[in-house]
Copies of this chain bind each other. A is one copy, B any other.
Amino acid sequence: MVDLSDDVRGLIEDANLAHFVTLMKSGAPQVTPVWVDHDGTHVLINTAEGRQKALNLKREPRVALSVVDRNNSQRYVQVRGRVVQTIGGEEAYQHINKLSKKYSNNPNREYPRREGEQRLILKVRPDHVFYRPGARRD
């Protein structure tokens, strides 16, 4: 478990996308762009029951993610860790609404509820964090 620095929290609090990796049954990686949040300690991702990410995580909790500053592509964070808790129900809906408002920059923009969709908060414990404030390393 590694602390999230103020810089890393700031990068996540701004409306920057994360690229979130889970592992397929075969062990091969899969990566998708997602909204991202934190609770001070964990990185939070919101997905839905039945998505490939959610299916993969039932087998294998190890994940990784990277977040680049949308206004400065040389500033980014890479995280490796594992999903230590999955939260569904109303809390997950409130959370996706929070993200919808953040990424649309519109405090009234709730996330559309879809028939039968079960939202999930994925709580990622960061085990390794690399933060790059400046020059590119590709």
Chain A interface size, as a band, is 20 to 34
Say how many copies of this protein the assembly contains. 2
Chain B minimum-CB-distance residue to A66: B31
Residues of B contacting A68 in the complex (Cβ-Cβ under 8 angstroms): 17, 19, 33
Q: Assess the A73–B33 pair: CB atoms within 8 A.
A: yes
Whether A12 is near chain B, meaning CB under 8 Å from some CB there, is no
Point out the residue from B31, B34, B80 that lies within 8 Å of A138, measured CB to CB.
Answer: B34
Point out the residue from B21, B32, B34, B138 that lies within 8 Å of A35, measured CB to CB.
Answer: B138
Whether A29 is near chain B, meaning CB under 8 Å from some CB there, is yes
Q: Assess the A29–B33 pair: CB atoms within 8 A.
A: no
In the bound complex, what is the Cα–Cα distance between A107 and B103 (angstroms)? 34
Residues from 9 to 56 in A contacting B, C-beta threshold 8 Å: 17, 19, 21-24, 26-35, 46-47
Q: Which residues of A contact B (CB under 8 A)?
A: 17, 19, 21-24, 26-35, 46-47, 62-66, 68, 70, 73, 76, 78, 80, 99, 103, 137-138
